[in-house]
């Protein structure tokens, strides 16, 4: 593998002055106007018209029946797990290859992350390997699935659409039905991504989005819970707004709630960003095409492309080293960053983190291989 050719391919593709960040937001629409309106009117906190507008725009984009805007994607996951009935000492199936928030949210519920493997074709959870694993490890009784080794109930599974690439959802949904598992999609990275013509977030009982500063669109910090159960969505809205009973002046709450509301000023930014989403996705997909062209014919590495069943937002572009070249990963990262081109490896796998080393896990051979071979390269829409 020729590292200098890889450096030259990236420089040719991004065609801009260094330094080049991994992913920067692009503000080229009504962001200033909408945020200024919040400042001028004083509606900057958790009450205001932009929150409702933002939620409705998400519904229109994704096709779900209800969206609830919250302070970040981790809070969205936490509430989704609680709503799905995850209780202390349950187990939740989580890919080892994910951002730490996925596993952290499970622990917030007092439950235990149970780490599962990924597949190379999507970078996400491998449904076929999971089916075999659950056949051997899971025990069905009383309309529930239990871990034969730990005795704990396996309550839910969280597929993560890694770097914006949809997981193969249909076989996973079949597995959930077979083993009585609740499906919760972690679509934090996949706004604007589609699986078989339908936006991600429509296959599980619940799904979540993230609007962190480095995502395809941003609210500065923020997230959303998605569901096709409108009654459940209304309940989630209530729970995430401190479970306050509506009243002109009294403060009464009918259950333990969470102050996870998205502020109006953040939602205003999100509305302006969503108005531009189609253009942002077009730019990012064009950048992916240029990368694929630039890396064609370079031995030892390939540009990761979407599957035939998917339309990806290409949130973060991926170089995938051949197994024989994986030992060059850190040298390549050092070369790119020394030229002020931001590149990074995948996250450290969850079972390697100190707080999760004792959690149950299946064979993670593919995830461990991907961890050694993935390099994320600049992906900002302005590139």
Q: Which of 50, 39, 36 is nearest to 261 (CA)?
A: 50
Residue 289: left if φ>0, alpha if ψ -120 to 50, beta else—which one?
Answer: alpha
110-151 pLDDT, tens digit per residue, is: 999 999 999 999 999 999 999 999 999 999 999 999 999 999
* Residue 339, helix vs strand vs coil: coil
pLDDT at position 43, please? Answer: 80
List beta partners, residue 341.
20
pLDDT at position 47, please? Answer: 77
CA dihedral 287, 221, 237, 145 (to 10 degrees): 70
Q: How many Å apart are CA 173 and CA 156, to the nearest integer?
A: 11
User: Where, residue-wise, is CATH 3.40.640.10 in the chain?
Assistant: 31-276
56-81 pLDDT, tens digit per residue, is: 999 999 999 999 999 999 999 999 99
List beta partners, residue 376.
318, 344
Low-confidence residues in the chain, pLDDT < 50: none
| H/E stretch holding 362 | none
CATH number of 3-25+277-350+360-377: 3.90.1150.10
Pick the CATH number of 31-276 from 3.30.505.10, 3.40.640.10, 3.20.20.370, 3.90.1170.10: 3.40.640.10
pLDDT at position 201, please? Answer: 98
148-171 pLDDT, tens digit per residue, is: 999 999 999 999 999 999 999 999
How far is the CA of 267 from the CAs of 35, 317, 376, in angstroms?
Answer: 9, 27, 29
How far is the CA of 78 from the CAs of 151, 239, 335, in angstroms?
Answer: 24, 12, 39
pLDDT at position 195, please? Answer: 98
User: Where, residue-wise, is CATH 3.90.1150.10 in the chain?
Assistant: 3-25+277-350+360-377
pLDDT at position 198, please? Answer: 98
Q: Is the dihedral of CA 1, 343, 97, 358 positive or negative?
A: positive
pLDDT at position 180, please? Answer: 98
């Amino acid at each position: 593998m020729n590292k200098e050719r890889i450096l030259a391919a990236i420089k040719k593709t991004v065609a801009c002055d260094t330094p080049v960040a991994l992913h920067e937001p692009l503000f080229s629409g009504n962001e200033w106007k909408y945020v200024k309106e919040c400042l001028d009117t004083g509606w900057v906190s958790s009450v205001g018209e932009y929150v409702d507008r933002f939620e409705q725009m998400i519904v229109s984009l994704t096709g779900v029946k209800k969206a609830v805007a919250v302070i970040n994607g981790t809070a969205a996951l936490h509430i989704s797990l609680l709503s799905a009935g995850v209780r202390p000492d349950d187990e939740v199936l989580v890919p080892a290859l994910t951002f730490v928030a996925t596993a952290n949210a499970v622990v917030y519920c007092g439950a235990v992350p149970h780490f599962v493997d990924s597949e190379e074709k999507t970078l996400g959870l491998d449904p076929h390997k999971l089916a075999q694993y659950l056949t051997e490890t899971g025990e069905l009784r009383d309309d529930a699935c239990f871990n034969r080794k730990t005795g704990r109930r396996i309550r839910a599974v969280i597929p993560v659409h890694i770097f914006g690439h949809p997981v193969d959802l249909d076989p996973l949904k079949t597995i959930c039905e077979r083993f009585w598992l609740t499906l919760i999609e972690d679509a934090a990275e996949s706004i604007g991504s589609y699986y078989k013509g339908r936006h991600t977030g429509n296959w599980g009982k619940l799904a979540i989005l993230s609007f962190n500063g480095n995502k395809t669109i941003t609210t500065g910090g923020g997230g959303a819970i998605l569901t096709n159960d409108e009654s459940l969505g209304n309940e989630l809205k209530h729970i995430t707004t401190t479970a306050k009973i509506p009243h002109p002046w009294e403060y009464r709450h009918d259950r333990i709630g969470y102050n996870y509301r998205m502020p109006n000023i953040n939602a205003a930014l999100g509305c302006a960003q969503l108005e531009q989403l189609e253009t942002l996705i077009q730019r990012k997909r064009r950048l992916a095409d240029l990368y694929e062209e630039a890396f064609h014919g370079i031995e030892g590495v390939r540009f990761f492309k979407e599957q035939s069943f998917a339309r990806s937002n290409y949130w973060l572009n991926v170089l995938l080293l051949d197994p024989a070249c994986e030992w060059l990963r850190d040298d390549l990262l050092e070369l790119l960053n020394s030229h002020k081109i931001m590149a990074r490896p995948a996250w450290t796998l969850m079972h390697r983190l100190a707080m999760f080393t004792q959690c149950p896990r299946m064979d993670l051979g593919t995830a461990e291989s991907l961890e050694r071979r993935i390099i994320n390269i600049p992906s900002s829409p302005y590139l």
